[in-house]
Chain A
Amino acid sequence: MTPVIETSGLTKQYGEVRAVSDLTLTVKPGEVFGFLGPNGAGKSTTIDMLLDYVRPTAGTVRVFGLDPRADIKEIHARMGVLPDGVALYDRLTGRHHLEFAIGVKGADDTVEDLLDRVSLDRVAATRRVGSYSRGMRQRLALAMALVGSPDLLVLDEPQNGLDPHGMREMRDIICAEADRGATVFFSSHILSEVEAVADRVGIMNRGVLVAVDSIDSLRTDLEGGVIVDLVVEGAVDEDALAAIDYVTIGVVGQSLTVECSQDVQKSALIADIEATGVTVTDVGTRRASLEDLFTAFTTDVDSTDQSTVGAGVPESETDETQEVTA
Chain B
Amino acid sequence: MNWTYVARKDFADAVRSKLALSLLALFSLLALFSVAVPRLILGPDATVQESLGLIAGPVQLVVPFAALVVAYLAIAGERESGSLKLLLSFPLTRRDVVVGKLVGRSGVVVLGVVTGFLVSAALVVALYGSLPVVSFAVFVGVTALFAVAYVGIAVGLSGFVASRGRAIAAALSFVVVMEFFWDLVPTGLYYLLNGAMPGQQLPAWYFLLDRLSPSGAYTYAVELVARVGAAGLVTTSDSSAETAAAIAPLADRLVGEVPFYLEGWSAIAILVLWGTVPVALGYLRFRRADL
Contacts and interface: CB of A to CB of B under 8 A. Distances in A.
Contact of B91 (A55, A73, A92, A145): A73
Interface string B100-128: 00000000000000000000000000000
Contacts of A246: none
A96 B12 contact: yes
Contacts, number: 76
A87 B290 contact: no
Nearest to A154: B89
Interface in A66-107: 72-74, 76-77, 79-81, 83-89, 91-92, 96, 100-101, 103-105
Contacts of B82: 83, 85-87
A195 B89 CA distance: 27
Contacts of B89: 51, 76, 79-81, 83, 145
Interface in B1-41: 2, 5-6, 8-9, 12-13, 16-17
Nearest to B92: A104
B88 A55 contact: no
B290 A54 contact: yes
Given A54-B291, A87-B82, A100 B5 contact: yes
A177 B47 CA distance: 71
A218 B65 CA distance: 61
A52 B17 CA distance: 31
B17 A91 contact: yes
Given A53-B290, A54-B290, A89 B90 contact: no
Contact of B2 (A55, A73, A81, A84): A73
Given A51-B88, A92-B16, A73 B83 contact: no
B16 A87 contact: no
Contacts of A103: 5
Nearest to B85: A83
A141 interface: yes
Contacts of B93: 72-73
Contacts of B12: 92, 96
B85 A76 contact: no
B90 A104 contact: yes
B81 interface: yes
Contact of B86 (A55, A73, A87, A105): A87
B22 to A, nearest CB: 15
A273 interface: no
A76 B2 CA distance: 12
Contact of A89 (B2, B5, B83): B83
A105 B2 CA distance: 9
Given A48-B291, A53-B291, A91 B2 contact: no
13 contacts: A51-B85, A53-B85, A55-B288, A76-B89, A76-B90, A84-B85, A88-B86, A89-B83, A91-B17, A96-B9, A100-B9, A104-B90, A105-B90
Interface of A: 48, 51-55, 72-74, 76-77, 79-81, 83-89, 91-92, 96, 100-101, 103-105, 128, 141, 144-145
Q: Which 5 A-B pairs give the minimum distances between C-beta atoms?
A: A81-B89, A87-B82, A87-B83, A83-B85, A91-B16
Interface of B: 2, 5-6, 8-9, 12-13, 16-17, 78, 81-83, 85-86, 88-93, 288, 290-291
